[in-house]
Structure 1
């Protein structure tokens, strides 16, 4: 069982920031962060469609330039919303990365940034967006990809196989209450479960065959 720091342990640090990810890398096997495009075209690391919740600014990320984003501290810290390039440059070399594509149309640019960064870390491109994963796979056959199964996706294992995924992610309850884990393991998929708050839940998921659990704070797994 491995531990993924969700947004860099969002409950204990300013989420999706360089400082959070660096600190989380000391306590987790992998770090997870979210990528979307800002108003001036750069790829930035932020979860929400707007900056309202994580900064004292307002408006959609897609309508705010990178220069404007740097004016806003994240969750009253000294951190700022980073570019994907800056986040990759700051990664400790040993930590695995789950990079979630949050919006359509960014797959090619994500791959370009990854190529320029030339990091040694294992970077798994994940998404709920099937078309983005398909675009990643078409452009980079060797890139690990992971399908995140929304509650509306009725055939997650079949879809993941069709996309040639390496990873299938699902909610902890879906992992426990359905047959998704054994079906995924039977076809060689690595299974990730989100979001876990207690060691007891991580232990139970591990017994069911889950490989990694995502958490908002450090837990022993």
Structure 2
């Protein structure tokens, strides 16, 4: 079982920053970060729709230009909001990436950005249209369906979307047949977000492939 650094181990580093991802890559097998489109059109790495929580500023990412975003620092760290291109250039060559698409309409530009990158990148999303677009444009690009609590048929949906990976909350994986059903159709199973090693071991026994955590966990 492999370890995913959620937002670059968000509990121990300024989340979704280059510094966090580079530091996490020394410990984790996979790094995860989130991508949105900002007001001037660039793809940027930030989780929330607004900048309020992580920068102390006020406003939405969609209404903020890249120049405006770069005036803020992340969680008083001195780190800035990176563009997707900046993040990809800074990636250690050995680490795998889970790239979560947070906005509609960015899939094509994400594919353009990751073209030629040597790292294995799994493009993931809760947004079904983005996963469909990825598959239509590039059938070889690994994709992952992230399962919301409202999605009643996660395995069927992942298969219909021709996904390689399915990601779900750890409690759903422990209390339903999701893991066994995913394994029966050869889906790679990613689980979020854990804090306890014992829970990770239970999930490993179930057959989970990767667990996502906000801090390093010894597996």
Q: Give, in whole Å, the separation in 2 of the partners of 1:100 and 1:151.
A: 17
Q: Which residue of 2 aligns with 1:29?
A: 29
Could you tell me how far 1:31 is from its partner in structure 2? 0.2
Unaligned runs of 5+ in 1: none
Aligned with 2:169 (options 156, 168, 171): 171
Unaligned runs of 5+ in 2: none
Cα shift at 1:78:
1.3
Question: In the alignment, what sits opposite 1:195?
Answer: 193
Query: 1:121 Cα shift?
Result: 0.4
Question: Matched residues in 2 for 1:148 and 1:70: separation?
Answer: 29
In structure 1, distance between residues paired with 2:198 and 2:110: 36
In structure 1, distance between residues paired with 2:79 and 2:99: 19
Q: Deviation above 3 Å: which 4+ runs of structure 1?
A: none
CA distance in 1 between counterparts of 2:109 and 2:7 reads 21
Tell me the distance in 2 between the aligned counterparts of 1:206 and 1:8. Answer: 22
Q: Which structure 2 residues correspond to residues 13-92 of structure 1 after superposition, within 5 A?
A: 13-92=13-92
The match for 2:207 is: 209
Superposition TM-score, scaled by structure 1 size: 0.98
Specify the alignment match of 1:143 in structure 2: 141
Task: Give the count of matched residue pairs.
Answer: 219
Shift of 1:56: 2.0
CA distance, structure 2, for counterparts of residue 70 and residue 47 of structure 1: 16
TM-score of the aligned structures, taking structure 2 as reference length: 0.99
Following the alignment from structure 2 to structure 1, what is the Cα–Cα distance between the partners of residues 113 and 54?
24
